Amino acid sequence: MPSRRLPSVEEAYELFKKDPYKRLSEWAKEWDCSHERVRQLRDQAGFPKISEIDYKISRKVVERIRSGEYTLTRRITYADLPIGYEKFVSWYEEDPAIYLAVLEAQQWAYNQKMNPTEKVCEGCKEKKPIDQYKRSAKYIDGYSKYCKDYPDCTNIDIKEKLNNLEDMRSRLDKLRKSLDT
């Protein structure tokens, strides 16, 4: 017996047009039918296969990798996209241009990480030119995580910090005493 919520091909066309990246499994759940039936409706409505390479999506992934905030293998890179890591890998294995773009983006991100021109100070949280930092072999980019003005660059009063620390210690002592008794 067919589902009552299953749309006609024309209705499905309009729905697919409104949300082209909605997963087939989501449509199937909404319409109370099988994943395969949704795929058939999508084909009948004239939409391309989802497995075809979408260059807009691949460009987004490459831009994210190039920014240095994301990597190829991190799942969060694909969190708001209609594809996952496995699908993207199949795309870049299929199309050498995508593969080369990923390699270039990874190299760019690596070079920016190793040779930064600007950096955010961990103390004052301001972005400053790299010449405002001391050299340090301790960090991967070769510069300290604090600017040369640190600790003067922070707006935190040291006396206030000490008072907070003393308050926390006294509360901890009270808690220990209450647990001992």
pLDDT at 1: 45
In a domain, 122, yes or no: yes
Helix, strand, coil tally for the chain in percent (to 5):
55, 10, 35
Same-domain pairing of 121 and 179: yes
Cβ–Cβ under 8 Å, residues 149 and 132? yes
- Give me the domain span that covers residue 94: 55-114
DSSP 88-116: HHHHHHH-HHHHHHHHHHHHHHHHHHHS-
Degrees (nearest 5) of the Cα angle 145, 65, 132? 20
pLDDT at 3: 47
In a domain, 4, yes or no: no
pLDDT at 97: 94
**Omega of the bond leading into 116 within 30 degrees of 0 (cis):** no
> In angstroms, rounded to a whole number, what is the distance separating the alpha carbons of residues 59 and 51?
16
pLDDT digit string (tens) for the chain, length 181 residues = 454 578 888 888 888 888 877 878 888 888 888 888 888 888 888 877 766 788 999 999 999 999 988 999 998 999 888 888 988 998 989 899 999 999 999 999 999 888 888 888 888 888 899 999 999 889 888 898 888 888 777 666 677 778 888 899 999 999 888 888 7
Same-domain pairing of 91 and 139: no
Same-domain pairing of 86 and 30: no
In a domain, 3, yes or no: no
> In angstroms, rounded to a whole number, what is the distance separating the alpha carbons of residues 13 and 43?
10
pLDDT at 4: 58
Q: Maximum distance among all alpha carbons in the chain? A: 76
In a domain, 50, yes or no: no
> In angstroms, rounded to a whole number, what is the distance separating the alpha carbons of residues 113 and 141?
6
Same-domain pairing of 126 and 158: yes
Same-domain pairing of 60 and 101: yes
Same-domain pairing of 104 and 127: no
Cβ–Cβ under 8 Å, residues 119 and 141? yes
Same-domain pairing of 157 and 121: yes
Beta bridge partners of 118: 129
Same-domain pairing of 132 and 166: yes
- Chain centroid offset of residue 12 CA: 32
In a domain, 1, yes or no: no
Domain count, the chain: 3
Same-domain pairing of 104 and 71: yes
> In angstroms, rounded to a whole number, what is the distance separating the alpha carbons of residues 98 and 79?
19
Same-domain pairing of 150 and 98: no
